[in-house]
């Protein structure tokens, strides 16, 4: 990302502090502006308030889980273009199908390394850019 580009804003929603810190570090190194939330309720509030380009959304969280957050983000017309990438240690086909059905752009199985996560995000951002 060149310095003339507007920084892309990434929202990390994960109840594990270590995951939030690692992902923040990875993406800030790549020039992203990163905000994070430790639960689904806070994540939904930040998504509506901050209008990030990308949301990395954990599924299994206490309280408001990722599937519900994804559904609610997709109900917001102001977030229609937001890329949602769900993350989970669960790799069951019903979970992948449900994520897609609720409007997630992709699904990354944890643990994921920085290269895989960055490639997934950048792939979707490249698709979203219109000439």
pLDDT at 131 over 60: no
Q: How confident is the model at residue 62 (pLDDT cuts 50, 70, 90)?
A: confident
% of the chain residues with pLDDT over 70: 94
Q: How confident is the model at residue 63 (pLDDT cuts 50, 70, 90)?
A: confident
CATH of domain 9-128: 3.40.50.2300
Q: Is 87 helix (H, G, I), strand (E, B) or coil?
A: strand
pLDDT at 105 over 60: yes
Q: Identify the pLDDT of residue 1.
A: 41
Cis peptide before 42 (omega within 30 of 0): no
pLDDT tens column, 9-57: 999 999 999 999 999 999 999 999 999 999 999 999 999 999 999 999 9
Domain ranges of the chain: 9-128
Tally of CA atoms within 13 A in the half-sphere of 105 that contains its CB: 21
pLDDT at 2 over 70: no
pLDDT at 3 over 80: no
Q: Identify the pLDDT of residue 73.
A: 97
Instruction: Decide if 11 contacts 36 (C-beta within 8 A).
Output: yes
Instruction: Decide if 14 contacts 23 (C-beta within 8 A).
Output: yes
């Amino acid at each position: 990302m060149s310095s003339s580009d507007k920084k892309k804003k990434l929202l990390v929603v994960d109840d594990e502090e270590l995951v939030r810190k690692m992902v923040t570090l990875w993406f800030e190194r790549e020039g992203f502006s990163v905000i994070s939330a430790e639960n689904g309720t806070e994540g939904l509030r930040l998504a509506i308030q901050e209008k990030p380009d990308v949301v990395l959304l954990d599924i299994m969280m206490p309280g408001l889980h990722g599937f519900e957050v994804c559904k609610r983000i997709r109900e917001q017309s102001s977030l229609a273009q937001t890329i949602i990438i769900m993350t989970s240690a669960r790799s069951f086909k019903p979970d992948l199908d449900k994520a897609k059905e609720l409007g997630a752009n992709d699904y990354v199985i944890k643990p994921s390394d920085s290269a895989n996560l960055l490639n997934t995000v950048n792939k979707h951002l490249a698709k979203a850019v219109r000439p």
